[in-house]
Amino acid sequence: MNEKYILSKDDKYACLTFTNRVTKTELLEEATVFSEQEARNILRRANRKLEGFIMVQVEFPSAEFYGNENEDVEMMVERKVFSMEMRNNVYEKTKGRCALCGKFVRFDLFTIDHIIPLAKGGTNDIENLQCTCKHCNAMKQDFSEKEFLDKMIKILAYQSKKKENKTYRKKIKKLYKLL
């Protein structure tokens, strides 16, 4: 049940980017770890790009495999592995809208955000996951939602006080009216 695989051909490994695109890497520590089903799906989905790639079962947790004993291996694996089903469920929660800015984001481009970050004790349960666009996710990083919003408000308040940013106040008022 818990077997994990990487996809490999010679000294190349398959790697899913944070926008879920399939790329190749020569660094073993960058190889994405898949469940058996995910590995099969990826091989099918990217059959041209991954021609000749085979599934190689990996033992884990193994600090050696990830090349850095100081890393929290469990956390690295948790960050990397989301099943397609889980991605679907997270996407459906907001019907494809970014939970932070409200913008619609394509399925192949959305990123999964931890509402309470893993580093702060959050889990990989569906309740703690939300669909975000890559920019919002990159800005939020390891902030909780409250910390992130507090920071955004501080930035807006500070910046809109500046003379040269007068138009921002108008923009904000306008946006509020639209909501």
Residues that bind Zn ion (CB under 5 A): 98, 100-101, 133, 136
**Shortest CB 75 distance to Zn ion, Å:** 24
**CA distances, 132 to each of 11, 42, 146 (Å):** 33, 22, 16
Closer to Zn ion by CB, 54 or 138: give it: 138
Closer to Zn ion by CB, 54 or 101: give it: 101
Q: Any residues with CB less than 8 A from the CB of 25 and at least 6 apart, and which?
A: 12, 13, 14, 15, 31
Closer to Zn ion by CB, 1 or 179: give it: 179
**Shortest CB 98 distance to Zn ion, Å:** 3
**Shortest CB 139 distance to Zn ion, Å:** 9
Closer to Zn ion by CB, 22 or 117: give it: 117
**Shortest CB 97 distance to Zn ion, Å:** 8
| 8 Å CB contact between 15 and 30 | yes
Q: Can you point out the beta strands (E) in the chain? A: 4-9, 12-16, 22-25, 34-35, 54-58, 111-114, 129-132
Closer to Zn ion by CB, 23 or 141: give it: 141
CA distance 96 to 99: 9
**Shortest CB 133 distance to Zn ion, Å:** 4
Tokens standing for residue 115? 């509402």
CA distance 151 to 65: 37
